[in-house]
Amino acid sequence: MASRDGDRVVALSLQLSQAHHELRRQISEIRTRLGHRRSSDDTLAAHCLAFCAALTSHHQGEDDAMFSQLLRERPDLATTVANLVEDHGMIASILSRVRELADRAAESGGPAREAVRRELDGLAAIMESHFSYEERTISEALDDGVPDTGWTDTVFRFGRT
């Protein structure tokens, strides 16, 4: 099924892919900024916190709405959805560490900044694996008949309207 995006009809799987692309772009930008000493630690912390909020919102939207809607239409995907929810829990733990380290970096810089970079490197790898798995396993089901009951704003636009 597709949903309206302005005057266009856009496949839900494409919107999911675009949301993932945006999250990849955001983490890549932060990782690049971490490599440049001219970026202030306060600015980097703010970008890290905004990214953490966006990824958290995206995953909460999936967990709270998209997956339940998907399972109503495709109960055969229960194992896949359970795997994705488990990934979300692991990613949430990493995001918690990133937030804590970003706060420390804003206060002290130096070693905390390097710890943020390492944590984001690992997170980027996990996100890539998770996003690829999600897109591979549920895209067809999304396009085949998952009604948009309002869940798309949180999942695809990270809560912004």
Taking Cα atoms as reference points, which of 96, 89, 95 lies closest to residue 62? Answer: 89
Give the pLDDT confidence score for residue 157 in this predicted structure.
83
Whether the model pTM is above 0.75 = yes
In a domain, 67, yes or no: yes
In a domain, 153, yes or no: no
Rg of the chain on CA atoms, in Å: 17
In a domain, 150, yes or no: no
Give the pLDDT confidence score for residue 37 in this predicted structure.
65
pLDDT digits (tens, 9 = 90+) for 39-61: 677 788 888 999 999 999 999 99
Distance CA 145, CA 2 (A): 8
DSSP structure string for 21-39: HHHHHHHHHHHHHHT-TTS
In a domain, 154, yes or no: no
In a domain, 12, yes or no: yes
Q: How many domains does the chain have?
A: 1
CATH code of the domain in which 137 resides: 1.20.120.520
Q: Are 121 and 31 in contact (CB under 8 A)?
A: yes
Residue 137: give the domain boundaries.
2-145
In a domain, 32, yes or no: yes
Give the pLDDT confidence score for residue 42 in this predicted structure.
74
Give the pLDDT confidence score for residue 75 in this predicted structure.
96
Q: Are 139 and 13 in contact (CB under 8 A)?
A: yes
